[in-house]
Structure 1
Amino acid sequence: MTTPRLELRLPSLDDLDQLADRAAEGVHDPDFMPFGFPWTDVQPLERARGTIQHHFKQWSSWSPQNWQCSFVTIFEGQVVGTQEMDGLDFAVTRQVSTGSWIGQRFQGKGIGTEMRAAVLHLAFAGLGAEYATSAAFSDNHRSLAVSRKLGYRDDGISMHSRRGRIARQQRLRLAQDDWVTPQGFEIHHLEPCLPFFGLQPDPGEASP
């Protein structure tokens, strides 16, 4: 996908090297944990290695019935973070979930909103999703602001243990009917990939 400022693509090995560097440099302040699984609570080298292993694991376990698709986000020629979209029995449920992170030194530039919008455009316009879900801890104000800016609605709460303490997570849901297609967003070379998402190309239509 391309947007006015970004490119989102499946990572090459060189891209993963850069993404691992972003993880090692830092993703958030040490006294705050935005993730349900605290993968950043390790030393920089282990964060870098775990980032690469995470992508390899996704590739090896991919099936049309259960896929996790993680893109690297390119801004001004650099890998700055990753945007993930997951689908479980997507051909039936028509629902995806999303998650993401950006290297700390690239935050505050609107990249998070733009890359989430890109993957939502892929989900709704490209894959025909009916719903997209997300979640964030109630004190993760940046993530919640991105979701609400893009039109998500609250979809209940869940309680979690975070660093040994209880924490509330806000679930969010965006319906296709509430999605406004952004200007300048494009999807490239999708049609040959549709079977990997559990879908079949429409012989009478070109990819968006």
Structure 2
Amino acid sequence: MTSPADYWPPFGLTLTTPRLTLRPVRDEDIPAAIGAALSGVHEPGRSPFSTPWTDAPPHELGTNMAQWYWRCRSSMTPGDWTLLLGIWHDGDFVGCQDVAAKDFSTLKTVSTGSWLRQSAQGRGLGTEMRAAVALYAFDYLGAELAESEAAVWNQQSLGVSRSLGYEPNGVTRAVWGGQPQEVQKVRLTPATFKRPDWNLQVKGHEPTAKYLGIQK
């Protein structure tokens, strides 16, 4: 019997931490993802995202999210890929953690971004899911550098970065949502990574890595 992972290998990837399950968002997961986003991700009028996708009217948000999931899947190549990992906690969809790369075979660099529904914030889940993709990037994909960024006022995100060992990598000025923002860039290496005191469980890595053209 054919499974989704037979035609798109990343569907077989699962990362498991003590409290979370991370795996690529499938079509049947999209309604739960939309529901989590509609429940609230941040305070109104204070978007932490470079593209303020959560500001879309409710009747447009679902369509935009579905199109984004489909676009990332269809455009994925070894030279340019984004894994959109849904986050489940106690069986509920609580957010999304992405890990992406361009020219990975040469640069060995990934970037990350994430969102977490407000009802799941403040419990360390954001740190746990970022630690999961850092462990996966360094220990399984063979990455040498992980990058991220946040608006300078977003101390919650920057606090997660600091707790994991990310170091400042310059401040830039960029247009986010049509407005100028001061953006703090951060970077993490295997040497600076403050590893958690738990082990990451991984299933489906080898077919995924082969699909992404990664040979560690």
TM over 0.5: yes
| Cα distance in 1 for residues equivalent to 2:112 and 2:179 | 25
C-alpha displacement at 1:180, in angstroms?
4.0
Q: In structure 2, do the counterparts of structure 1 residues 163 and 123 end up closer, same or farther at CA, with 3 Å as the change threshold?
A: closer
RMSD: 1.3
Q: 1:72 aligns with which of 86, 92, 108?
A: 86
Work out whether 1:184 is the aligned partner of 2:199: yes
C-alpha displacement at 1:95, in angstroms?
0.2
Contact 2:132 2:200 in 1 (8 A): yes
| Cα distance in 2 for residues equivalent to 1:189 and 1:42 | 35
- 2:208 aligned partner, one-letter code: C
SS in 2 for 1:7: strand
How do residues 144-163 of structure 1 correspond to structure 2 at under 5 angstroms? 144-163=158-177
C-alpha displacement at 1:153, in angstroms?
0.1
| Residue aligning to 1:138 | 152
Contact 1:24 1:45 in 2 (8 A): no
Contact 1:25 1:44 in 2 (8 A): no
C-alpha displacement at 1:106, in angstroms?
1.4
| Residue aligning to 1:193 | 208
Contact 1:95 1:133 in 2 (8 A): yes
Contact 2:50 2:176 in 1 (8 A): yes
- 1:187 aligned partner, one-letter code: V
Most deviating of 140-149 and 172-181: 172-181
| Residue aligning to 1:9 | 23
* Corresponding residue pairs, total: 201
SS in 2 for 1:40: helix
| Residue aligning to 2:114 | 100
| Residue aligning to 1:206 | none
| Residue aligning to 1:127 | 141
How do residues 82-93 of structure 1 correspond to structure 2 at under 5 angstroms? 82-93=96-107
| Cα distance in 1 for residues equivalent to 2:52 and 2:205 | 33
Specify every segment of 5 or more residues in structure 2 that has no aligned partner in the other structure, as ranges: 1-14
Most deviating of 190-199 and 118-127: 190-199
| Residue aligning to 1:44 | 58
| Cα distance in 1 for residues equivalent to 2:121 and 2:195 | 24
SS in 1 for 2:146: strand
C-alpha displacement at 1:52, in angstroms?
1.4
| Cα distance in 2 for residues equivalent to 1:175 and 1:69 | 20
| Cα distance in 2 for residues equivalent to 1:197 and 1:120 | 17
| Cα distance in 1 for residues equivalent to 2:182 and 2:120 | 27
| Cα distance in 1 for residues equivalent to 2:188 and 2:161 | 9
| Residue aligning to 1:24 | 38
SS in 2 for 1:14: helix
Structure number with higher relative contact order (C-alpha < 8 Å, ≥ 6 residues apart)? 2
Specify every segment of 5 or more residues in structure 1 that has no aligned partner in the other structure, as ranges: 203-208
Most deviating of 173-182 and 30-39: 173-182
SS in 1 for 2:114: strand
| Residue aligning to 1:62 | 76
Moved over 4 A (4+): none
| Cα distance in 2 for residues equivalent to 1:71 and 1:121 | 14
How do residues 102-121 of structure 1 correspond to structure 2 at under 5 angstroms? 102-121=116-135
C-alpha displacement at 1:53, in angstroms?
1.1
